[in-house]
Amino acid sequence: MKKYDVIVIGAGNGGLAAAATCAKAGLSTLLLERHNIPGGSASSFVRGRFEFEPSLHELAGIGSDGDPGAVDLMFNRFDADVTWHKHNSTFRLIVPAKDGDKDAFINENGVNVTVDARMPVGFEAFARKLDELVPGSYESCIKAFELSANLFQIFDSLDNPKNIPSVLKYLPDALRMAAHNITEGLDALGMPKKAQDIFNTYWCYMGSPASRFDFLYYMTVLHAYVSSGTGIPDKRSHEMSLALDKVIRDNDGDIWYNSEVTKFIVKDGKPAGVVINGEKEVYGKYFICNSYPYKVFGELFDKKDVPEKQLKMLNARETAATLTTVYLGMNKTKEELGITDYSVFIAPDSDSDKQYEACNGFFSGYCIINCLNEIIPDCTPEGTSQLFLTTMTFGDVMKDIKPEDYKKFKNKVAKDMIETCEKALNISITPYIEEIEVALPPTFARYLNTPLGTPYGYRLDMWDSLIPRTAQYLNDQPFDNFFFCGATQERGDGYGCAYYTGEKAGGLVVKALKEGK
């Protein structure tokens, strides 16, 4: 029986990147996936005349013409062919006013709001817009981006010790800020509170608010979005998955779909193979797993084979955010609907911690509305458009919903989210819906096979963020021939983050095998 150099479990973003890295390096590589297509969240689905994007809001790290970003460079290393549609904007934040709000005003849509911030790409442009909205915030914003540029270089060196000497001059600032959350960092720079609220809008993409998320990591996230905008693949995120599938096959890697790993075979205290679909055994030297560690150790290993440190680590960490998404195929164009932005964050309060609190129950007014036609005009048939509305929740928000009430509950949540967007943008959506699909946490749980359906892995927190996770990466792996990749690892949720962890894990396996370690 053939013994593979490396077996990759799960064809999500991290698993695809890991398998592509190993196959391109000449390792005999097997990628196993329980579904019949690759990608996990990076896929697409069709309803009626519309092909929907399941989860990708926007991908930072694409870069600009002549100056590719980290994600584009990664796909170039893979020789993966992806056509990007680039978007020269960041976000719009709208906070509808409540009765008695003293700083309320009527915005361009005729809505009474306390915040309406449409933020541009480019550090200088972003800082000047922020200063226009909150006078006196320009200098602190520029200082923050100057710091983020240095931090970017430091983070790029974390996994490459050879580069550390070139960034030593930036370490004092990094060390000074390393133990501080976003609020503390921005306070130290002198940024006004209202400006901070706008500045922190992207907190939800990482799943932790300003008081719980470290300043250094958030600055690198915002840096990536503001430096050169974002992008979307021409054929939805499924285009990236198919491109990596092709790379693996072109480099003689094997991919088996409809092949669920149901057990790990352990010999001499570490994995030696896997059982597929409860029957077939396949053996390998190294293993890379793009699955949730809690599920892997709870279901795929005998309890006696699970290292004690893994159990302690899993018990210490919290499951991250879950999502609810409403997908809408509209029989009107975005212009006819009155939609002028790609990504609009609608929040019941401008403060990220209060937004987070609102997400600890089910839908409480926090919603992101995206219109894909703003980036890819012809992504729907002529005369139509598609929207997707997303909200996040924390904890087991479905525990009190009875099965017989599920459909009614799902429809109510969708109705509330649609009405929230209609009111905040002063537009009409409901009469023009041709197709609608609603995905609650159980939907994501069924497809992603993660606790509560989270796509975010473990919650990033001050004690458990990028720097400690990176520093402890090798110690956190359960065996010397086994690596995790994906959203549960050091950089948390995000397409680019998942690809990064897969390439990193694959690179470690390549190095180990080629050096005989």
pLDDT at 302 over 90: yes
> Hey, how many other C-beta atoms are within 10 angstroms of the C-beta on 408?
11
Looking at the structure, do residues 177 and 143 belong to the same domain, yes or no?
Answer: yes
Residue 4 has φ and ψ, to the nearest 5°, of -80, 150
Confidence band (pLDDT; 50, 70, 90) for 442? very high
Q: How far is CA 416 from the centre of its chain?
A: 25
pTM: 0.95
pLDDT of the residue at 415: 97
Query: With left for phi above 0 and alpha for psi between -120 and 50, is residue 470 left, alpha or beta?
Result: alpha
Number of H helices, E strands in the chain: 19, 21
Reference 494, options 109, 115, 116, 230; nearest CA is 230
Q: Residues 248-256: what's their mean pLDDT?
A: 98
Looking at 168, 203, 228, which one is the last position of a domain? 228
Beta strands 385-393; 367-371: pairing state: antiparallel
Q: Residues 437-464: what's their mean pLDDT?
A: 93
Looking at the structure, do residues 422 and 328 belong to the same domain, yes or no?
Answer: yes
pLDDT of the residue at 454: 94
Instruction: Please state, in angstroms and rounded to a whole number, the distance separating the CA atoms of residues 54 and 189.
Output: 38
CA quadruple 389, 393, 399, 401: dihedral, nearest 10: -30
Residues 6+ apart with CB under 8 A from 436: 326, 327, 328, 329, 414
Domains contained in the chain, number: 3
pLDDT of the residue at 229: 87
Q: Residues 237-248: what's their mean pLDDT?
A: 97
pLDDT at 158 over 70: no
pLDDT at 411 over 90: yes
Tens digits of per-residue pLDDT, 350-361? 999 999 999 988
Report yes or no on 409 lying in a domain.
yes
**438 token code pair:** 């609603």
Confidence band (pLDDT; 50, 70, 90) for 305? very high
Report yes or no on 161 lying in a domain.
yes
pLDDT of the residue at 156: 67
Q: Residues 64-87: what's their mean pLDDT?
A: 90
Report yes or no on 58 lying in a domain.
no
Looking at 180, 208, 228, which one is the last position of a domain? 228
Instruction: Please state, in angstroms and rounded to a whole number, the distance separating the CA atoms of residues 286 and 470.
Output: 21
Range of the domain at 332: 90-119+322-393+399-439
173 versus 270: the higher-pLDDT residue is 270
Angle value at C-alpha 439, between 42 and 378, nearest 5 degrees: 55
Looking at the structure, do residues 340 and 379 belong to the same domain, yes or no?
Answer: yes
pLDDT of the residue at 169: 74
> Hey, how many other C-beta atoms are within 10 angstroms of the C-beta on 299?
14
Q: Helix, strand or coil for residue 476? A: helix
Contact, 353 vs 209, CB < 8 A?
yes
pLDDT of the residue at 190: 97
Looking at the structure, do residues 269 and 354 belong to the same domain, yes or no?
Answer: no
pLDDT at 159 over 80: no
Q: Residues 256-266: what's their mean pLDDT?
A: 98
Report yes or no on 59 lying in a domain.
no
Q: Could you tell me which residues are beta bridge partners of residue 369?
A: 344, 389
pLDDT of the residue at 148: 87
Report yes or no on 388 lying in a domain.
yes
**Inter-helix orientation angle 495-515/70-78, to 10°:** 40
Q: How many residues does the chain have?
A: 517
Looking at the structure, do residues 366 and 274 belong to the same domain, yes or no?
Answer: no
Looking at the structure, do residues 366 and 429 belong to the same domain, yes or no?
Answer: yes
Contact, 89 vs 229, CB < 8 A?
yes
Q: Helix, strand or coil for residue 265? A: strand
Report yes or no on 444 lying in a domain.
no
Q: Residues 104-124: what's their mean pLDDT?
A: 97
pLDDT at 438 over 70: yes
Residues 6+ apart with CB under 8 A from 302: 266
Report yes or no on 493 lying in a domain.
yes
Contact, 407 vs 332, CB < 8 A?
no
Q: How far is CA 452 from the centre of its chain?
A: 16
Looking at the structure, do residues 115 and 126 belong to the same domain, yes or no?
Answer: no
pLDDT of the residue at 66: 81
pLDDT at 348 over 90: yes
- pLDDT, mean over the chain: 93
Among the residues of 158-192, which ranges form H helices? 171-177, 182-188
Cα–Cα distances in Å, from 79 out to 15, 193, 240, 438? 17, 45, 12, 36
pLDDT of the residue at 380: 98
pLDDT at 154 over 80: no
Report yes or no on 80 lying in a domain.
no
Residues 6+ apart with CB under 8 A from 193: none
Contact, 319 vs 493, CB < 8 A?
no
Q: Residues 63-77: what's their mean pLDDT?
A: 88
pLDDT at 74 over 90: yes
Rg (CA), the chain: 23
Residues 6+ apart with CB under 8 A from 331: 383, 384, 432, 433, 434
Looking at the structure, do residues 268 and 337 belong to the same domain, yes or no?
Answer: no
Looking at the structure, do residues 354 and 435 belong to the same domain, yes or no?
Answer: yes
Looking at 410, 439, 468, which one is the last position of a domain? 439
85 versus 88: the higher-pLDDT residue is 85
Looking at the structure, do residues 265 and 368 belong to the same domain, yes or no?
Answer: no
Q: Residues 218-235: what's their mean pLDDT?
A: 92
Contact, 330 vs 81, CB < 8 A?
no
Cα–Cα distances in Å, from 470 out to 5, 9, 157, 185, 407? 25, 22, 11, 21, 42
Q: Residues 75-99: what's their mean pLDDT?
A: 94
Residue 214 has φ and ψ, to the nearest 5°, of -75, 140
Residues 6+ apart with CB under 8 A from 410: 438, 440
Place of tokens 């979307």: 232
Domain CATH for 433: 3.90.660
pLDDT of the residue at 186: 97
Residue 416 burial (C-beta neighbours within 10 Å; 0-12, 13-18, 19+): middle
Residues 6+ apart with CB under 8 A from 447: 35, 40
Q: Residues 38-51: what's their mean pLDDT?
A: 95
- Work out the percent of the chain whose per-residue pLDDT is above 90: 81
Looking at the structure, do residues 164 and 112 belong to the same domain, yes or no?
Answer: no
Domain CATH for 273: 3.50.50.60
Beta strands 280-289; 3-9: pairing state: parallel
Instruction: Please state, in angstroms and rounded to a whole number, the distance separating the CA atoms of residues 215 and 184.
Output: 8
Residues 6+ apart with CB under 8 A from 335: none
- Work out the percent of the chain whose per-residue pLDDT is above 70: 97
Looking at the structure, do residues 15 and 104 belong to the same domain, yes or no?
Answer: no
pLDDT of the residue at 437: 98
Instruction: Please state, in angstroms and rounded to a whole number, the distance separating the CA atoms of residues 147 and 176.
Output: 12
